[in-house]
């Protein structure tokens, strides 16, 4: 239940479409299911708690989970946890994964060539126990052009391994490169109160009806290290939070969702209480004055 005793449900944030798939705008990121810090081999998560978070998310209306085969830490794999907790999958559940970066079994990173993308797609299929993937994002590493990599994914879509395609960590020009090859249903870029370098991509997605899916919406500049690594919440965020009886994290999520009806949120957590608080943020409506105050200066200001 939320603080005003209304039922918490992800549907309160509204819906959007990823191609022909409808999802609630409040989803779940799977990265933190594997441990207290992303890619941390020193502190694996409690397996039963991670499974409980996933099942509770479904109970609370989450039907959009963001994951990747390279989300693993010592002893834990996000995809394996999802498979164990949720298979057989609910009919309305949309699982979005990403390829491009990869990690070998020891955790060492590599950047996939176009030819290696099929192996990454098949790895996601095996881990999730599926015959096809709902949505696959090409996560750009450092390459200026994504055409060759995205073309390889388009071929896998034509082969029936993938239903829809998206891109991640791209500029507006790179989005256009992908669109010249195949339809793009979502763009996943870093975007939050602290980091707003992708306003042009956000705008173009809104004009074209493409879902814009920010990552690190709560963590801000803390990135993979999480919200605890963020320097602090500015007085403006705390003032808005106090006015609504909400937390700073909930204000950050509400601000994210109010960037446009095409904006989705995928906050990641392995904590059941944080999960419920995050989903409750989907019902938080910030006023025009709240938004003006939050937008008047970056969060770190006083």
Contact (CB, 8 A) for 127 and 77? yes
CA dist., res. 193 & res. 197, Å (int): 10
DSSP letter (8 states) at residue 1: -
Half-sphere exposure of 116 (CA within 13 A, CB side): 10
Sign of the Cα torsion 121, 127, 100, 221 reads positive
Q: Name, in order, each residue with C-beta under 8 angstroms of 13's C-beta and a sequence gap of 6 or more.
A: 24, 25, 26, 257, 265, 282, 283
Would you call 71 a catalytic residue per the annotation? Answer: yes
State whether residue 197 is helix, strand or coil.
Answer: coil
DSSP letter (8 states) at residue 31: G
Catalytic site residue from 41, 71, 89, 215? 71
CA dist., res. 267 & res. 278, Å (int): 7
Catalytic residue IDs:
71
């Amino acid at each position: 239940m939320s603080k005003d005793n209304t039922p918490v449900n992800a549907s309160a944030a509204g819906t959007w479409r990823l191609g022909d798939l409808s999802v609630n705008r409040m989803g779940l990121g799977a990265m933190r299911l594997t441990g207290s810090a992303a890619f941390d081999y020193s502190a694996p998560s409690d397996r039963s708690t991670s499974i409980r978070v996933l099942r509770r998310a479904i109970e609370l209306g989450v039907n959009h989970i963001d994951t990747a085969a390279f989300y693993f830490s010592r002893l834990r794999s996000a995809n394996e946890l999802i498979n164990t907790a949720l298979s057989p999958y609910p009919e309305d559940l949309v699982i979005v994964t990403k390829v491009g970066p990869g990690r070998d079994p020891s955790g060492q990173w590599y950047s996939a060539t176009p030819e290696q993308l099929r192996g990454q797609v098949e790895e996601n299929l095996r881990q999730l126990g599926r015959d096809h993937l709902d949505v696959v994002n090409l996560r750009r590493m450092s390459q200026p052009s994504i055409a060759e990599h995205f073309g390889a994914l388009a071929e896998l879509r034509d082969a029936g391994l993938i239903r829809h395609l998206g891109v991640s960590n791209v500029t507006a020009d790179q989005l256009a490169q992908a669109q010249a090859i195949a339809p793009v249903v979502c763009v996943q870029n870093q975007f939050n109160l602290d980091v707003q370098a992708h306003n042009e991509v956000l705008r173009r997605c809104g004009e074209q009806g493409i879902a814009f899916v920010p990552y690190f919406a709560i963590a801000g500049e803390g990135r993979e290290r999480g919200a605890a690594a963020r320097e602090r919440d500015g007085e403006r965020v705390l003032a808005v939070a106090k006015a609504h009886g909400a937390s700073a994290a909930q204000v950050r999520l509400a601000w994210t969702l109010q960037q446009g009806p095409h904006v989705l949120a995928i906050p990641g957590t392995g904590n059941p209480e944080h999960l419920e608080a995050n989903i409750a943020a989907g019902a938080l409506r910030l006023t025009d004055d709240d938004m003006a105050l939050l937008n008047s200066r970056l969060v770190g200001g006083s």
